[in-house]
Amino acid sequence: MEHSIALVTGTTSGLGYAAARLLSAAGYRQVMVTGRSLARVQETATQLAAETKTQVFTPLELDLDAPTSVQSALAELVRLGQQIDFLLLNAGMVPGKQRVLTAAGVEASQAPLIGHHELTVGLLRANLLSPTARIVIAGAEPARGGVPMFSYTDVPAFAAKYHQGDRTAAVEALIRNGPNVKYVPNNSYADAKLIVAWWTAALARRLPSGMAVYAVSPGAATATNVSRRAGLAVKYLFVPIANLLPGMNQTPETAARRYLQASEFGTDVSGQFFASAQGKFSGPMEAQRHPHLHDRASQEAAWQAVVSVSGVDLSHPASLSAVS
């Protein structure tokens, strides 16, 4: 690990901040920390350096909701010219009571995946991931199902009812919270994380041999800004219950350790979604075997929908010509 370079998105607080600290302790020689505001992420890097007594943190401005910011970050990474060994796509958003769309017309909880897709494809096209790079993207327990107050959309049924069976169009409708999609914050979050799991599986099939990607639920960690932004039912019902019941909650540091654990996984489990055991929200994680997660048609539909929304595909290098 002493010669490794990591890049972590969403590091100004919560799990991303905890993960950056853990990476320093694990011996990474450089940890690129990112956030929407350069001033804020510079403060984060300074604070992390003071806490860890190391000088391994490099601040990078990155607003995943803004394609121009992603392109600027990629251009800076090209200038630095260092290959990344561990790409941790941690940034996420729990939607609030009112629907919020980005300038590109993407529902707020779906937007991080679009930015992460643009970033990941850009790094691959610029040859900025090492030959054995590991990519971890933050998933969540609701993607597997069976989580109280969270329900994901039955995409095949939704596609059959409203999109003539076209699953790509159905997933894009969910990403944009378009026609025939009722905005329910918790369900929108569950949909976003299910699409993340599908996208991960599709990306795994497209990665060069030697690289691997995993979707990882960090499990319940209520002491984060994400939880504080959650809807009333989650904030005042689910979180208090989770805080009271043994095994239902954990510290951000414990949750973030799952990311580092996954960074050591092999290529044989690339593309899988790792989360707590059924009915659990912390403790050991395991590869999820639920059939809906392994539906290849839905996985490919998710990839194509993200490509459609972002305008960026691995098969079209010209789409990233701005940083080539």
Closest C-alpha among 53, 44, 46 to residue 24: 53
Q: What is the mean pLDDT of residues 41-65?
A: 97
116: closest CA among 142, 85, 86, 90? 90
Those residues whose C-beta lies under 8 Å from the C-beta of residue 246, and which sit 6 or more positions away, are none
Task: Give long-range contacts, CB 8 A cutoff, 24+ apart: 58-62.
Answer: 58/30, 58/31, 58/32, 58/33, 59/32, 59/33, 59/34, 59/35, 60/7, 60/32, 60/33, 60/34, 61/34, 61/35, 61/36, 61/37, 62/9, 62/34, 62/35, 62/36, 62/115, 62/119
pLDDT band at residue 226 under the 50/70/90 scheme? low
pLDDT reading at 75 higher than 70: yes
To the nearest 10°, the Cα dihedral for 240, 110, 288, 266?
-120
Start-to-end CA span in the chain (Å): 29
Q: Residue 324: its pLDDT value, please?
A: 35
Q: What mean pLDDT do residues 62-78 have? A: 97
Hey, where are the domains in the chain? 5-313
% of residues, the chain, pLDDT over 70: 87
What pLDDT does 228 receive? 45
Q: Residue 14: helix, strand or coil by DSSP?
A: helix
Whole-number average pLDDT of the chain: 90
Residue 220's pLDDT is 82
CATH number (3.40.50.720, 2.40.128.20, 3.40.30.10, 3.40.50.1950) of 5-313 reads 3.40.50.720
Instruction: Quote the CA–CA distance of 52 and 21 in Å, as a whole number.
Output: 7
H or E stretch at 167: helix 167-176
Chain segment 227-272, per-residue pLDDT in tens: 545 555 554 455 555 444 445 568 999 999 999 999 999 999 999 9
What's the pTM value of the predicted model, to 2 decimals? 0.90
Per-residue pLDDT reduced to its tens digit, 135-188: 999 999 999 999 999 999 999 999 999 999 999 999 999 999 999 999 999 999
Indicate if the pLDDT at residue 71 is higher than 70: yes
Check residue 315 and give its pLDDT.
73
Q: Which two tokens stand for residue 109?
A: 């909880």
